[in-house]
Amino acid sequence: MKAKVLKTDRDYKAALAYVERLMDQPSPDEAELDLWSLLVENYEETNSPIATPDPIEAIRFRLDQAGLQTADLLPYLQSKSKISEIMNRKRPLSLAMIRALHDGLKIPAAVLVQESGAPTNRRRAQPISGGRLTVETSPSPPEVTLHVIAMNPPITLGGILLGP
């Protein structure tokens, strides 16, 4: 297949299939695989940019990654009442809190300085085969967010691959 800039969804799908075929080979041409991977990555960045996560969701995600509870935020957010207010989106993060969370939990400062979005209805993580699933709904704009943690092996849900 001849390399070219991917301009359409059709080009993108064909390139993904080609990369998959290259990866299935016992000893793929690394230069060609690198080139096609860059073309695919460029198309994805241009056509499907990943939004920076909400600061509160980033904190929740980091806590879950580290096996921590919201009470473990006390060294960074100074009091239990502030933890509650921040996690329920009733109080913004202060500069001191942002610095503490960045230094202590290694959450990117660029994520923490954003304004927090609208409150969401978050359901407790439900165990599913090989991982956990959390479902959130937000009234405005109406959307549903699925958070999948530690999927191994990956599963497909509604045509979307979930997992590493």
Identify the residue with better confidence: 61 or 149: 61
Give the pLDDT band (50/70/90) at residue 28.
confident
In a domain, 85, yes or no: yes
pLDDT of residue 30: 87
In a domain, 3, yes or no: no
In a domain, 2, yes or no: no
Q: Check: CB of residue 6 under 8 Å from CB of residue 19.
A: no
**Which structural domain, as residue segments, surrounds residue 150?**
121-162
Indicate whether 67 and 98 sit together in one domain: yes
| CA distances for 63 relative to 8, 71, 101, 158, angstroms | 39, 10, 11, 28
- DSSP string over 103-158: HHH---HHHHTSPP----EEPPPEEETTEEEEEEEETTTTEEEEEEES-SS-EEET
- DSSP string over 143-164: EEEEEEES-SS-EEETTEEE--
In a domain, 4, yes or no: no
Give the pLDDT band (50/70/90) at residue 107.
very high
Indicate whether 22 and 59 sit together in one domain: no
Q: Which residues are paired to 13 by β-bridges? A: none
Indicate whether 59 and 108 sit together in one domain: yes
pTM reported for the whole predicted model:
0.50
pLDDT of residue 125: 47
- Calpha distance 84→90 (Å, rounded): 8
Give the pLDDT band (50/70/90) at residue 82.
very high
In a domain, 132, yes or no: yes
Q: Is the pLDDT of residue 103 over 80?
A: yes
Indicate whether 39 and 83 sit together in one domain: no
pLDDT of residue 135: 52
pLDDT of residue 159: 54
Indicate whether 14 and 39 sit together in one domain: yes
Q: 46, 39, 26, 51: which is closest to 114 by C-alpha?
A: 51
pLDDT of residue 138: 53
Indicate whether 151 and 125 sit together in one domain: yes
Q: Is the pLDDT of residue 84 over 90?
A: yes
Total domains present in the chain: 3
Indicate whether 66 and 93 sit together in one domain: yes
CA angle 53, 58, 59 (to 5 degrees): 155
Residue in the block written with tokens 């304004």 = 115
Indicate whether 60 and 108 sit together in one domain: yes
Indicate whether 148 and 104 sit together in one domain: no
Q: Is the pLDDT of residue 53 over 90?
A: no
Report the mean per-residue pLDDT for the chain: 79
pLDDT tens digit sequence for 56-73: 999 999 999 999 999 999
